[in-house]
Structure 1
Amino acid sequence: MAATEISIDDRNLVIEVVLDTQWLFEGFQKTKGSDLVGRIARFFQSNPNWNATGYNQKMAQLAGTSIDNVNLLEMYWGNWGRYSKYSKFANETIPYLGHPTQSQIFVPVYIVLSLLTFAVIVTRMYSRMTIAGFVRSYDYVLLGGFILTLALGMQNAIILSTSTYYRGVWDKTWLDFQVEQDSSLSASILYPLTVVFIKFSLLLFYYNLSVWNPLRWATIATGFCVIANALATIFAWSFQCNPTLPWKHQNYMNPQGACLVDTWKLEVATGSVNIITDVLIWIIPIPMIWRMQLSLRERIISIITLGVGALACIACAIRVRLINMAWYGSSDESNASIICIWTITELYLAQICASIPSIRALVLSKAPQLLGSESADRKENVYDKYNHYDQFPDFASQTSLDKSSPEVSVIAHELFEKRADNRV
């Protein structure tokens, strides 16, 4: 029998038997699941009369656990005959399942993307300091998102190379399983928190881009959806089960416990909302750009500059699809390393795309010929002729909105606010 001939249901049955056996062997939490399944299978073979007096006591001594735990497992399976049959099946099947491991490409991908994104964010900060003279609040928010992404990637890199290096639970210990569950929960909470930081950076940028009411109300409504989706994700993952940490030994087999949240539906629902808000964020400024008195070429360039964020939407969709395949696909599709790669790619792509407008403004200021444009200084220095903050043009007016590109518009706002703050 080859691994490809083992059905999904049979593989899931083996996983259930391994985890239940690891839970029972409380005194052997550092022993691999396959070894423990072999021990319990040999015990049943040597002691076929499970109705004999003292049978549960003998099993408790074998597993280094209490009679209560043995009785709890017996109640869960119905009788020892059923558990004996399936433990024998699992022991015979495990050798054919092999020893699948995580992909080794996550760490190099994570390092490359981290360095690339760091360089982009540094360039973004330099652009702000060079053109506007100061860094804005949304730049610091994005920096917070980068730090959270860096932390999430470091956690994944450590876990994938240690406790979850082997993908089969039969190759792990009970302690490995607990560490894997703990890290999975923390990652499920850290991911939406990171998404909030990145998206709020963009929404704050759009909000400060213009006082045009439709644009501002669109950013507020989208921000509300982003927060609501993140809170729903965090609370649903945190309190999906009662007790909240069901894999902590006794809780794992708690007859009074229940997991009411369908994690697959949760992931699909929150992931879909995440994709929708991604799309909304990248199209929000388009109507404003179309209102500006720009050439068709400038409009198209501005839309493309802001619209490259669609790449992050694609990465998010691929991530959701891979999670679905991991739950309901073959063992080859359950590679957590690949899911982590697309998660990190999605987050870093969003940060890179969010920084493109400020980088373009820097290029327009320092080397406009690269983009076939006139010097950005010629566009911006028009505001230098105003010696007092109240002489600045009214950015709320239709005239002011129509005469600036998105990059120049936000720079003008920044210069206006800076002079207003320093007025005498």
Structure 2
Amino acid sequence: MAATEISIDDRNLIIEVVLDTQWLFEGFQRTKGSELVGRIARFFQSNPNWNATGYNQKIAQLAGTSIDNINLLEMYWGNWGQYSKYSKFANETIPYLGHPTQSQVFIPVYIVLSLLTFAVIVTRMYSRMTIAGLVRSYDWVLLGGFVMTLALGMQNAIILSTSTYYRGVWDKTWLDFQAEQDSSLSASILYPLTVVLIKSSLLLFYYNLSVWNPLRWATVATGFCVVANALATIFAWCFQCNPALPWKHQNYMDPEGVCLVDTWKLEVATGSVNIITDILIWIIPIPMIWKMQLSLRERIISIFTLGVGALACIACAIRVRLINMAWYGSSDESNASIICIWTITELYLAQICASIPSIRALVLSKAPRLLGSESADRKENIYDKYNHYDQFPDFTSQTSLDKSSPEVSVIAREHLEKRADNRV
């Protein structure tokens, strides 16, 4: 028998038997699931009369657990005959499942993307300080998103190389299973929080881009959807079950426990909303760009600069698809390392794409010929003829903003604010 010949239903049955057996063997939480299933299967084979007096006491002694736990498991399976049959099947089938491990690609990909994104954000900060003389609030928000992405990646790297290195529960201990569940829950909370910071940074940038009401209302509405989706994700994962942590000791078999949240539907629903808000964020500024008095070439460049964020949308869609395949696909498709790779890729790509406008502004300022543009310094120096901030042109008006590219509009506004803050 090959692993590919074992059906998904049989595989899920084996996983259930292994986890139940690991939970039962309370005194052997550091022993692999396959070994514990073998012990209980051999016990049932040697003691076929499961209606005999003192049968439960023998199992309790074997597993190093209490009679209450034994009675709870017997009640869950209906009778020991049922559990005996399935534990025998699991014990005979596990050797054919092999020992699948996590992909080793995640750590190098994580390191490369972290260094690349760090370089991009440093360049972004340098651009702000060089051109505007200060770092804006949305820059700090994005930096917070980078730090949280870094933390999420470090957590994934640690857990993938320790507790979840082996993908099959039969190769893990009960403590490994608990560590995996704890890590999954914390990652499910960290991810939406990181997404909120990254998207909030972009929305704050768009909000400050113009006083055009349709643009501002669009950013506010999209921001509300982003925050609402993140809160729904966090609360649904935290309180999906009652008790809240069903994998902890007695809670795993708690007859009073209930899990009302279908986590697969939760992932698909919140992931879909995440993709939709990604698309909205990257198309929000396009109508405003088209209203500006720019050449067709400059409009196309500005739209392309802001539109590269579509790459993050694609990464998010791939991540949702992989999660779906992990639930209902083959064992090869349940590789958590691959899902983590696309999660980190999505977050880092969003940060890189969000930094492109400020990097383009830096290039326009320092090396305009690379983009075939006039020196940004010449454009900024025309404001030096004004001796007082009150004499500045009204950059808050739509007319003035219509004459500049999105990057120059923000630079002009920041220049005005800096001069106003430093007035005598």
- TM-score band by shorter chain is over 0.9
Contact 1:198 1:350 in 2 (8 A): yes
Supply the distance in 2 between the matched residues of 1:384 and 1:168 (Cα, whole angstroms): 68
Query: Following TM superposition, by how much is the alpha carbon of 1:374 offset from its aligned partner in structure 2, in angstroms?
Result: 1.0
Deviation per CA, 1:188-234: give whole Å up to 9, x if none: 00000000000000001011111111111111111000000000000
Supply the distance in 1 between the matched residues of 2:6 and 2:147 (Cα, whole angstroms): 43
Q: How does 1:123-202 map to 2 (within 5 A)?
A: 123-202=123-202
Contact 1:3 1:98 in 2 (8 A): yes
Supply the distance in 1 between the matched residues of 2:383 and 2:233 (Cα, whole angstroms): 46
SS across alignment from 2:134: coil
Higher mean Cα deviation, 33-42 or 364-373? 364-373
Check if 1:90 corresponds to 2:90.
yes
Query: Following TM superposition, by how much is the alpha carbon of 1:25 offset from its aligned partner in structure 2, in angstroms?
Result: 0.1
Supply the distance in 2 between the matched residues of 1:379 and 1:234 (Cα, whole angstroms): 47
Deviation per CA, 1:384-419: give whole Å up to 9, x if none: 222212112112323202111111000001011111
SS across alignment from 2:208: helix
Higher mean Cα deviation, 238-247 or 206-215? 206-215
Contact 2:24 2:63 in 1 (8 A): yes
Query: Following TM superposition, by how much is the alpha carbon of 1:373 offset from its aligned partner in structure 2, in angstroms?
Result: 1.0
Query: Following TM superposition, by how much is the alpha carbon of 1:382 offset from its aligned partner in structure 2, in angstroms?
Result: 2.1
Query: Following TM superposition, by how much is the alpha carbon of 1:95 offset from its aligned partner in structure 2, in angstroms?
Result: 0.2
Deviation per CA, 1:63-116: give whole Å up to 9, x if none: 000000000000000000000000000000000000000000000000000000
Q: In the alignment, what sits opposite 1:246?
A: 246
Supply the distance in 2 between the matched residues of 1:112 and 1:332 (Cα, whole angstroms): 25
Contact 2:138 2:205 in 1 (8 A): yes
Deviation per CA, 1:17-54: give whole Å up to 9, x if none: 00000000000000000000000000000000000000
Q: In the alignment, what sits opposite 2:326?
A: 326
Contact 1:18 1:37 in 2 (8 A): yes
Query: Following TM superposition, by how much is the alpha carbon of 1:377 offset from its aligned partner in structure 2, in angstroms?
Result: 1.2
Contact 1:211 1:395 in 2 (8 A): no
Supply the distance in 2 between the matched residues of 1:382 and 1:210 (Cα, whole angstroms): 21
Contact 1:167 1:335 in 2 (8 A): yes
Supply the distance in 2 between the matched residues of 1:158 and 1:118 (Cα, whole angstroms): 21
SS across alignment from 2:165: coil
Supply the distance in 2 between the matched residues of 1:381 and 1:79 (Cα, whole angstroms): 86
Supply the distance in 1 between the matched residues of 2:171 and 2:386 (Cα, whole angstroms): 72
SS across alignment from 1:209: coil
Contact 1:368 1:374 in 2 (8 A): yes
Contact 1:243 1:257 in 2 (8 A): yes
Supply the distance in 2 between the matched residues of 1:142 and 1:240 (Cα, whole angstroms): 30
Supply the distance in 2 between the matched residues of 1:393 and 1:72 (Cα, whole angstroms): 77
Supply the distance in 2 between the matched residues of 1:398 and 1:122 (Cα, whole angstroms): 32
Query: Following TM superposition, by how much is the alpha carbon of 1:158 offset from its aligned partner in structure 2, in angstroms?
Result: 0.2
Supply the distance in 1 between the matched residues of 2:287 and 2:381 (Cα, whole angstroms): 26
Q: Which runs of 5+ in 2 are unaligned?
A: none
Supply the distance in 1 between the matched residues of 2:164 and 2:398 (Cα, whole angstroms): 58
Deviation per CA, 1:305-349: give whole Å up to 9, x if none: 000000000000000000000000000000000000000000000
Supply the distance in 1 between the matched residues of 2:48 and 2:358 (Cα, whole angstroms): 74
Supply the distance in 2 between the matched residues of 1:277 and 1:173 (Cα, whole angstroms): 40
Supply the distance in 1 between the matched residues of 2:223 and 2:358 (Cα, whole angstroms): 21
Supply the distance in 2 between the matched residues of 1:385 and 1:66 (Cα, whole angstroms): 86
SS across alignment from 1:104: coil
Q: In the alignment, what sits opposite 1:267?
A: 267
Supply the distance in 1 between the matched residues of 2:256 and 2:164 (Cα, whole angstroms): 29
Deviation per CA, 1:339-376: give whole Å up to 9, x if none: 00000000000000000000000000000111111111
Supply the distance in 2 between the matched residues of 1:381 and 1:409 (Cα, whole angstroms): 15
Supply the distance in 2 between the matched residues of 1:109 and 1:385 (Cα, whole angstroms): 51
Supply the distance in 1 between the matched residues of 2:21 and 2:135 (Cα, whole angstroms): 57
Contact 2:210 2:398 in 1 (8 A): no
Supply the distance in 1 between the matched residues of 2:133 and 2:398 (Cα, whole angstroms): 27
Contact 1:212 1:396 in 2 (8 A): no
Query: Following TM superposition, by how much is the alpha carbon of 1:168 offset from its aligned partner in structure 2, in angstroms?
Result: 0.0
Supply the distance in 1 between the matched residues of 2:393 and 2:354 (Cα, whole angstroms): 28
Supply the distance in 2 between the matched residues of 1:259 and 1:382 (Cα, whole angstroms): 65
Supply the distance in 2 between the matched residues of 1:398 and 1:367 (Cα, whole angstroms): 28
Q: Which runs of 5+ in 1 are unaligned?
A: none
Supply the distance in 2 between the matched residues of 1:174 and 1:382 (Cα, whole angstroms): 70
Q: In the alignment, what sits opposite 1:106?
A: 106
Supply the distance in 1 between the matched residues of 2:63 and 2:399 (Cα, whole angstroms): 80
Contact 2:211 2:398 in 1 (8 A): no
Contact 1:215 1:285 in 2 (8 A): yes
Contact 1:114 1:348 in 2 (8 A): yes
Higher mean Cα deviation, 367-376 or 393-402? 393-402
Supply the distance in 2 between the matched residues of 1:384 and 1:81 (Cα, whole angstroms): 89
Supply the distance in 1 between the matched residues of 2:18 and 2:392 (Cα, whole angstroms): 72
Q: In the alignment, what sits opposite 2:229?
A: 229
Supply the distance in 1 between the matched residues of 2:306 and 2:379 (Cα, whole angstroms): 20
Supply the distance in 2 between the matched residues of 1:386 and 1:191 (Cα, whole angstroms): 48
Q: How does 1:347-358 map to 2 (within 5 A)?
A: 347-358=347-358
RMSD: 0.6
Contact 1:210 1:395 in 2 (8 A): no
Contact 2:229 2:273 in 1 (8 A): yes
Supply the distance in 2 between the matched residues of 1:344 and 1:401 (Cα, whole angstroms): 36
Query: Following TM superposition, by how much is the alpha carbon of 1:173 offset from its aligned partner in structure 2, in angstroms?
Result: 0.0
Query: Following TM superposition, by how much is the alpha carbon of 1:383 offset from its aligned partner in structure 2, in angstroms?
Result: 2.2
Contact 2:396 2:413 in 1 (8 A): no
Deviation per CA, 1:129-148: give whole Å up to 9, x if none: 00001110000000000000
Contact 1:358 1:407 in 2 (8 A): yes
